[in-house]
Each structure stands twice: as structure tokens, then as C-alpha cells.
Chain A
Amino acid sequence: CGRPGHALLSLSPHPTADIISTVEFNHTGELLATGDKGGRVVIFQREPESKTAPHSQGEYDVYSTFQSHEPEFDYLKSLEIEEKINKIKWLPQQNAAHSLLSTNDKTIKLWKITERDKRPEGYNLKDEEGKLKDLSTVTSLQVPVLKPMDLMVEVSPRRVFANGHTYHINSISVNSDCETYMSADDLRINLWHLAITDRSFNIVDIKPANMEDLTEVITASEFHPHHCNLFVYSSSKGSLRLCDMRAAALCDKHSKLFEEPEDPSNRSFFSEIISSVSDVKFSHSGRYMLTRDYLTVKVWDLNMEARPIETYQVHDYLRSKLCSLYENDCIFDKFECAWNGSDSVIMTGAYNNFFRMFDRNTKRDVTLEASRESSKPRAVLKPRRVCVGGKRRRDDISVDSLDFTKKILHTAWHPAENIIAIAATNNLYIFQDKVNSDMH
């Protein structure tokens, strides 16, 4: 790719609540939604490119902010339910309004986002403030007219899908039929109809009869982009299961199982943890799947179950540090992964506010940093390098000086253009490739 353009930052006074927990472009890329730990959703909208202000071509500005989820307390189980937004998924747009699903650990909500830019004026019976007029002052009748007003974005919760999950929801995915969606927790996946909130179908249940026999949990799931009957779910053991809803009502039996045999030379105490899949994404074409585990991203061909067709090392230099990463809990970080619009480049986050891109065709990869210093408007992102001993170049960072508190877990790629959104703790960076703005 070429050179990314500028960045947009959002700061806030409350450090923990504003940690971004999910980022998602809508289907056109015009809107970008972020969810945070405080249960808020912020939607950015891309400004149309205008000749009068060429510098703000296609910048993203805040469009709407609303509180999606609040902390709750489950009295029955004496459990606090976090308001953190785990995932946001946009519904395909079917009319003037936009809709999205947002979920915390237990409850999914459907939000409708509408614009109001006109208001009626000239009522006969009410005055400008809405107070009833004294009828004696009404001497003629007029037809109220719509007059333009400042754009107002209104968000309203249209559906609340509650009580469907015993365990923590980790993913939601809208079906290509635009009528149903699924939600997955650690042990179960439910299928919902967007219009029906009081019931859902359980389509996967891997809870063992005896919880002591529990060996794996569901970590992520997604519907196939084109085949409304197919979906995939990943497990903590590193396997992927492709399921066909036409085969049975309960899809416990997979149609395909994608699993790579473990490399015995890499065995350690932490082998199981690092093989746990933290994210799975279908390619736009529907032909491939992308998975992220702790140290690698892998591309799988739906037609080959035995092993991935491509494996990319994200930060293999951490392999010798797994014990420390276990101690400080970093080994449990769940990184996401993303395809670009043409499925030729994949992207994922790492530590020290680094993120990585891998070009599948040229096999070249690059490490970039999302930081204020390197992200002034018009700045060109400089490739970074982590040195692991051996020759050290001037701007290299050594493994030991990586900041593990600065992790990029959530990234998103515009569906059509070379625009990426990077969530670095409580800051959102949006990089645009102005030179090569079209996908190649």
C-alpha cells in the first residue's frame, strides 16, 4: 500500500470507561461505530469530499453518541454484569435509517439511528414554543410547512434481546438474509429473529453434561457472508467448525472441522493458551477464513480442513516470553483481525501500539505504530521494527522495551477503500491511504 494520511483522535477525562472495546465500519464505510467499556457507542460519519474544503476530504467526524448499555446487577446470582460493549454489528441499510446491534456480556440491543433535518412550522393551534394559541387570535388558516433545521441525529432502542445467555457473549453476527442474527457465548450459540425478542433458537451447545469435563469453549463465531445457512465458530483449542443450519436444528455436529496439528517442538506450558483462537473473520469473497491466535494470523481455505493455507507471524519474538506474559495476563489478550476489501491484505494489532499488515500476494509485511507523535495530519506512517538481537538499526525497538499496556486489540478496515480504524486503548486512530485510495 502507499502512505496513510491523517489521524483522528478522541480523548476523554475518564480513563477506564473510555477504553474502546469494539470498532466496526458499516457496509458502505460511511459510518464507523465504536463501543467502549463504559457502555457508550460513538458513531463517526465520513464527511463527503468537497471541493471547497479539500483538506477535510473524507474525514470522519462524530455523528452520534449514546449510552447503549448500563451496568446491571443480577440479584439471583449476585453477579454484576458489565456494561462494556463487546461487539457492534451494523445491519444492512434498508431505508433512510441506520440500524446496529450492540451487545454486552448478556444483552443484545437493536438501535435505530435516524436523522431529522426538517421540522414543521406554522401550526394553526400551537405557537412556536408549542403552547396552545388563544383561539381568538387565530384569524386565518395556514398549512404547516417543513423548514430546514440543524441536523439532529436521533437514536432509539428498537429491540432488547435479553436473557438468552447464561455465559458471556463474545460475538454477534448478522445473517446475509438480513432477518436473523446469531449471538455466541462461551458454550452456546443462539439464533434470533431481528423482530422477535422473547425467544431464540439454540443452534450450538457444547456444554458438557458434567462441567468437570469441560475442555474447550467457543471464542468467536460468524455467519458466512453469502450463504445464509453456513456459519463458523472458533474454539479455545484452536479449531474452527463450519456448520450448516440445514443439516439439523442443533448444529453440534460440524460440517467441517478445521484444525492444524500441534507442532510438538513448540510445546510449552502455554501451548493451549496461545492456540486459542481470539477472532475469526470470513473473507469478503466467502472463500477464506482468517483466524487470530496469540502469536499468529492464519488464512484458511474453506475447502481444506487439514491446515491453514497461510500462516503469518505477528510477534514471534514473544514466544520466549510466554511465562512473563502469563504472569501479567497479557497472554489472555484477545486480538482481532481484519481483511481489506479485496481480501489481499490482512491486518491485526499487537503491543506497543503497533499493528501489522500482511500482503498475501507479495508476502510483504509491515509494522506500523498508532501514536500521537507519529500521527500528525498529513504525516506518513513510518514502518517500525522490533529487533530481537542481532543487528539493531537506529529506530528499532527492542523486545524488552515494548509497552505491553499499549495493546491494539480492535481494528477495522473500510469495506471498499484503504481506510483503517485502529483502537489504541481510549484513542481512535483513522488512517487513510490518500495515495492509493482504491483497493488493489
Chain B
Amino acid sequence: MEFKLEAHRIVSISLGKIYNSRVQRGGIKLHKNLLVSLVLRSARQVYLSDPCPGLYLAGHPGAPAPPQQPEESAAGPPAGWGEPPPPAGRAAWPEPEPQPERPAVPEVLRAGDSEPAATVTAAGDTLQGGEAEAPEAAWRRVEGPRETAVGGAGGPAEVSGVFPEGPEAARGPCGCPPGDEDKLSAAPRVDGCRASRPAAAEPPASPPVCARKRGAGWVGGGPADCPAPGSTPLKKPRRNSEEQPGGAAAAAEEEEEEEEMETGNVANLISIFGSSFSGLLRKSPGGGREEAEGEESGPEAAEPGQICCDKPVLRDINPWSTAIVAF
């Protein structure tokens, strides 16, 4: 039990460091962030392996409490953030899930909560090694879109394992298989998704705008409304983190509330962040750029210094989810 608490504490400290590294002068320090991610991974392993399943059940009834509103609000910001992880990342994980971790978020929402929940449970078991099903599923249901989005940005197949059916369920509404969103060749489908996304998203205009930008990025260069780094160099004073949206700045304010969260939520949070913070690693100075050129150039291209989320939107979000959004 003590290990769990200490692990929890270390996880939140680590997240804080990863966040702060992005506003540090001189850019993201790859070495330090790598070490922090290793600590995060160790803490997560301890946390997950510590046999105290009762903790989840006890703490959990309150977990699904976060209302739909913030959940859907969160859908917006995540939609505008991050780039889809490369397929190779998924392969690194035991989950045989072939689907990409980057489903269209609003589609997941619209598909309804019940659908992902059932499948999530199964996946959750696989991932979490037998922890309490119901609370996990319930939590995931609530946090689903945000998780997925984060997974898309920084966590590979682990998140995709969480929602093996989610993306498929989401496929219905707009008819675009999320898997193809990763690939530049899926231009028409991406456009389709893009069009539907603004309709789905409830929050103010900025998230859909973000979605558009990201979609634009995915087709490799995209329309002019999405400034790519090569075309329009943006001077952002002190914006050292090229990858994370400015909305994360607001997330930092909420992050301090992490400590107050029930521990029941931590398991899922850890599984998202602990798997790797590959998103950050990929986005290290220049490293992210190089890969962007080689792979999906768009999403990263759309990144530097752009504020994709209005601060007021983020402020309404459950602090946990805000932290997820940030990462």
C-alpha cells in the first residue's frame, strides 16, 4: 500500500517535470526527459503490480462522476492536439491490436459510451493483469475520448488496446476508418472525418479549428490555414516546446489539483503516461522535426506554439483529464 502511494506520488511528480520541461528555456532536454520517463515507467509498474485491488473498488464509485460535459469538452482539445503515433509504436506492445490509437475522437463519443465499455473491459484486463473490471471499464468509459487522444499523441498501442472496438465503433458516423487517418494517403477520408468533427464537437470553435488543422497536417502540408513550420515561421517568444499546444499551459494550472484525485483513477492515468512518453520523445528538438519529415509531417508541423484550446475550456475540465490532455 505504501508502495502504491509512493508510486502515485512519483508519477505525479514526474508528470509535473515533463510538463515543465516544455516551457524551459533552451528547448526540451532529451536526456532529462528520458530519465523521467524511465522513473515514470518504474513507478507505474510498481503501482500496477502492487496487489491491492480493493483500493480500486473502494475508491471507485466516485470515479465515473465527472459529467458528460467536461468529457466532451475534453474531446475538443485532444482532437486538436498531438499527432498520431506511428504504427511501429503499436507493434512494440503485446496488444495485437492492429488499429491505430488515434480514432476520431468525436466519433467515439457519438458511438455511445456503452459500446466501448464492454470491449474496454476485456482490453483492460489484458493490460492491467486482472484488476477489477467494472471500475476500470467505467472509468475508461468516462475518460475514454481523452485517453484515446492522449494515446494518440504520446502513448502507443497500450491505449489502442484499451479501445479495441472504439475506433471501429466510431467508424460508423463518418465512414472513415480511423486507421487511415494516420496515413497521408487517406486524404479523402481524412477530409470526411474533418468535416464531421466540428459537428460532433460541442466545445467552442477552437477545438474544431484544431481538428481541421491537424487533419490538414495529415494530408501532408495541408491547406493554408495550417501553418507548417517550413512555410510560415512563427516567432513565439519563449515557446521552447515545439510540440505541445499552448492549451497545456492552462492544464498546468489544473495539474496541481492532481494530488486530490482519488487513487482509483491513477491506474489508468499511469497506463497512458507510463507506457512511454513517446510523443514527447519524438518531439524532442529537431528529432521530432526529422521524423515529421519522414513520416507524418503534418501534425507535428501544425504544432509549434499554437494554442489549440481556449483556456476557459480547459478550466472546466476534470483536472485528471486536463493532465491527460496536457500530455
A81 contacts chain B at the CB level, 8 A cutoff: yes
Q: Is the CB of B35 within 8 A of A211?
A: no
Q: Tell me the A261-289 residues at the B interface (CB within 8 Å).
A: 269-273, 276
- Return the chain A residue nearest B295 by Cβ: A210
A212 contacts chain B at the CB level, 8 A cutoff: yes
CB-CB < 8 A to A207: which residues of B?
287
CB-CB < 8 A to A168: which residues of B?
26-27, 29-31, 285
| Bound-state Cα–Cα, A211 to B300, Å | 14
How many residues of chain B are within 8 Å of chain A by beta carbon? 49
- Return the chain B residue nearest A212 by Cβ: B278
Could you list 19 A-B pairs, sorted by A, with CB under 8 Å? Answer: A78-B239, A78-B305, A79-B27, A79-B242, A80-B25, A80-B26, A80-B27, A84-B26, A166-B287, A167-B286, A170-B31, A187-B30, A209-B88, A212-B92, A214-B281, A269-B39, A271-B42, A276-B35, A323-B6
Q: Which of A80, A105, A219, A269 has the most CB of B within 10 A?
A: A269
Type the 1/0 row for B23-51, where 1 means its CB is closer than 8 Å to any CB of A: 00111011110110011001100100000
Which of B111-119, B230-238, B258-266 contacts its partner?
B230-238
B229 contacts chain A at the CB level, 8 A cutoff: yes
Which of A69-77, A125-133, A141-149 contacts its partner?
A69-77
CB-CB < 8 A to B13: which residues of A?
326-327
| A210/B10 contact (C-beta < 8 A), A168-B27, A272-B35 known | no
A301 contacts chain B at the CB level, 8 A cutoff: no
Q: Which of B7, B278, B286 has the most CB of A within 10 A?
A: B286
CB-CB < 8 A to B6: which residues of A?
323
A160 contacts chain B at the CB level, 8 A cutoff: no
Residues of chain B at the chain A interface (Cβ within 8 Å): 6-7, 10, 13, 17, 25-27, 29-32, 34-35, 38-39, 42-43, 46, 85-86, 88-89, 92, 156, 229-230, 233-236, 238-240, 242, 276, 278, 281-282, 284-291, 304-305
| Bound-state Cα–Cα, A209 to B295, Å | 11
| Bound-state Cα–Cα, A101 to B295, Å | 37
Q: Is the CB of B284 within 8 A of A167?
A: yes
Type the 1/0 row for A53-92, where 1 means its CB is closer than 8 Å to any CB of B: 0000000000000000000010111111110100000000
Type the 1/0 row for A191-232, where 1 means its CB is closer than 8 Å to any CB of B: 000000000000000010111111111010000000000000
B3 to chain A, nearest CB (A): 10
CB-CB < 8 A to B305: which residues of A?
78
A340 contacts chain B at the CB level, 8 A cutoff: no
Q: Which of B85, B89, B156, B284 has the most CB of A within 10 A?
A: B284
| Bound-state Cα–Cα, A269 to B230, Å | 41
Q: Is the CB of B27 within 8 A of A269?
A: no
| A77/B242 contact (C-beta < 8 A), A166-B290, A212-B92, A272-B39 known | yes
- Return the chain A residue nearest B234 by Cβ: A78
Q: Is the CB of B34 within 8 A of A217?
A: yes
A186 contacts chain B at the CB level, 8 A cutoff: yes
Q: Which of B39, B230, B233 has the most CB of A within 10 A?
A: B39
- Return the chain B residue nearest A219 by Cβ: B31
CB-CB < 8 A to A73: which residues of B?
235
| Bound-state Cα–Cα, A215 to B287, Å | 15
B46 to chain A, nearest CB (A): 7
Q: Is the CB of B88 within 8 A of A212?
A: yes
| Bound-state Cα–Cα, A78 to B39, Å | 28
CB-CB < 8 A to B281: which residues of A?
211-212, 214
| Bound-state Cα–Cα, A84 to B26, Å | 9
Q: Is the CB of B89 within 8 A of A210?
A: yes
| Bound-state Cα–Cα, A237 to B286, Å | 23
| A81/B27 contact (C-beta < 8 A), A167-B286, A214-B34, A332-B32 known | yes
A352 contacts chain B at the CB level, 8 A cutoff: no
Q: Is the CB of B39 within 8 A of A236?
A: no
Q: Which of A170, A212, A326 contacts B282 (CB 8 A)?
A: A212
- Return the chain A residue nearest B278 by Cβ: A212
CB-CB < 8 A to B35: which residues of A?
236, 272-273, 276, 332
Which size class do A's interface residues fall under? 35 or more
B246 to chain A, nearest CB (A): 11
| Bound-state Cα–Cα, A78 to B284, Å | 12
| Bound-state Cα–Cα, A213 to B291, Å | 13
| A79/B285 contact (C-beta < 8 A), A236-B31, A269-B39, A326-B10 known | yes
Q: Is the CB of B242 within 8 A of A186?
A: no
Q: Is the CB of A78 within 8 A of B242?
A: yes
| Bound-state Cα–Cα, A215 to B92, Å | 13
A15 to chain B, nearest CB (A): 16
Q: Which of A76, A166, A272 contacts B233 (CB 8 A)?
A: A76
Q: Which of B32, B235, B238 contacts A75 (CB 8 A)?
A: B235
| Bound-state Cα–Cα, A81 to B291, Å | 21
The 9 A-B residue pairs with the shortest CB-CB distance in the complex, in nearest-first order: A166-B286, A212-B278, A82-B26, A75-B233, A78-B304, A211-B282, A186-B30, A79-B27, A212-B89
A80 to chain B, nearest CB (A): 6
| A212/B85 contact (C-beta < 8 A), A75-B235, A78-B234, A187-B30 known | yes
- Return the chain A residue nearest B155 by Cβ: A212
Q: Is the CB of A213 within 8 A of B92?
A: yes
| Bound-state Cα–Cα, A269 to B36, Å | 10
